[in-house]
Amino acid sequence: MKFHKILFVIAILLSNGALALSNDREQPINVEADSAMIDNVKGVAIYEGNVIVTQGSIRLTAEKVTLNYSEKQEIEKLIAEGKIARFKQRLDNGEDITAQAKTMEYNALTSMLYLKRAAKLQKSRNGKNSYTSTAPYITYDTKAGLIKANQNGRRKGRIKMTLKPQPKRR
């Protein structure tokens, strides 16, 4: 029973109404991994080995996904990590948001997505990128739609952003 609650909470976590397709929340969640360990006493679920989480238009892949949840079975944090963890989501307006980093952390309490180490965030339509940001560290406020790229206190690395002009309408 608790395992099903965890999957339900993953659904809420992965389907941000402002970003996802309107019907993503209504879609089933599929989790695939080479192994899973759920510790209800500590409030931790760990999936390892080619982890794939999908729900509607949302797809998250990583070598390891760790979920931390409260005694009430509410997700507090999701951490995806590996050589490169990847996230993709279709928006209602037809655009795609893709992100990748060595570590992705989503704080469900603040609706903040943290992309750490080799971070990249892209927005595209019909396979054509309209926005790309790369930095050592990217913070994405999923409620406000605010993106912040920085070095996270490091002096190594530069922030790079590419904004592509929209084609002129005739």
Parse the chain into domains and list their residue ranges.
Answer: 2-163
pTM to 2 decimal places: 0.74
Q: What is the pLDDT of residues 96-124, one digit of tens each?
A: 888 999 999 988 788 788 999 889 988 88
29 or 18, which is more confident: 29
Q: Give yes or no for a contact between 114 and 148, defined as CB atoms under 8 angstroms apart.
A: no
- Domain 2-163 classified CATH 3.90.1150.10? no
